[in-house]
Amino acid sequence: MGSAISSCIQQLPPLDNLIHPTPETYVLLLNIFQYFPAISLIQWLTSFHPAGKTSLKSSLFNLPGRWAWFTMEIISPLNLIYLLYSLPRKYSLPPLPLANKLLAALFITHYINRAIISPFFAAPSMSPIHLGIVLSAAVFNWLNSGSLGGWLLGYRLTLVPDGNGPAIPTAGEVGYAIKTAIGILGLSLFILGMGCNIHSERTLFRLRREEALRRWEKKSYSTFLKDGGNMYSKVYTIPPPTGLFKTILYPHYVAEWVEWIGFAILGSIIITSTSPAPFTSSPNTAGTLISMSRPELHLAPWLIPVAKLADWAGVGFPVPAVVFVVNAVTNMLPHARWGRVWYVERFGEGRVAGRGAVVPFVSWL
């Protein structure tokens, strides 16, 4: 695995190909991004995460919370929009199908809420975010949006297990009725997940506002003049065990996972990264040819079972969307685990009420 990552880094393409990925660059980005779960293992070993509740009180590398969050999250929708607009013109690609535009619109809608509405209009305050967090999140979002952009544009690839095994066969077409059912399931899960994610976050924001007002009324609030006079700064409370918070402390995390699982399911019937390209080569704006050959993606071991399952079911394997789901879960899961530890230390096990972080009533998760 380490040699695979090292080899990818050594073969980084020219800057223009990183900004305007060719099919080969697209596969290279995927080859790197799919191994994020291995890097995220570090997050299980330390609770150090200088952002949000656990942000550092003072650091030369602290950035204003709202603008730092906006900067690192807005990369996802802006880069995707740019790629979907610029690559067809640069490489003379065919028009984007309507269904692919729907997937892009769902992705962008999520990030409009995440990057703009949530920090600037919903959150009562946001703690400073360390520069290191901003940079790492920016790279994550750039890799993710770049991978999704190539996939939505129809770049094709060959799925090769991480070893000497044969390539995984391309999934076949499914019937109209099954395709419709899968599409309804995927879209429903996306809408349900996004709705529950927003509702959970807004509940936390409301509880923070109410707690700040209670402190103010009791004249026990002593930090009003800090953080530019924001009375909600560093005011946190534990949600009561009701509604979506009845059995877990981070339903907004689980809801986001459901959202992206729905996105991947929807993508499995709309377009596949292993589907034949409509042409072999095409002149770009400079008059040269861009190869639409089928570069090889050496699948990470944890993706192989999903690829084989998709092939057995006769649906497409939306590689970037599945990679995003896996990476989102492996990134957020240790944060939720350490977040539960923080709740116990701050409010006590009694108020945690036996709830798990993301698994009902599992104290370690």
Relative to beta strand 289-291, strand 281-283 is antiparallel
Residue 315: pLDDT band by 50, 70, 90 thresholds? Answer: confident
Query: What's the pLDDT tens digit per position in 210-246?
Result: 888 887 777 655 545 454 556 777 788 899 999 999 9
The pLDDT of residue 283 is above 60:
no
Q: Domain ranges in the chain?
A: 17-274+294-352
- Structure letter (DSSP) for residue 356: B
| φ, ψ for residue 59, nearest 5 deg | -160, 140
Relative to beta strand 62-63, strand 281-283 is unpaired
Task: Give the Cα separation of 203 and 150 in Å (integer).
Answer: 36
Q: What is the sign of the dihedral through the CA atoms of 249, 255, 258 and 263?
A: negative
Of 277, 324, 310, nearest to 155 by C-alpha is 277
Q: Where is pLDDT greater, at 291 or 296?
A: 296
Residue 167: pLDDT band by 50, 70, 90 thresholds? Answer: confident
Residue 6: pLDDT band by 50, 70, 90 thresholds? Answer: low
Q: How far apart are the first and last CA of the chain?
A: 27
Residue 296: pLDDT band by 50, 70, 90 thresholds? Answer: confident
Average pLDDT score over the chain:
85
pTM check: above 0.85: yes
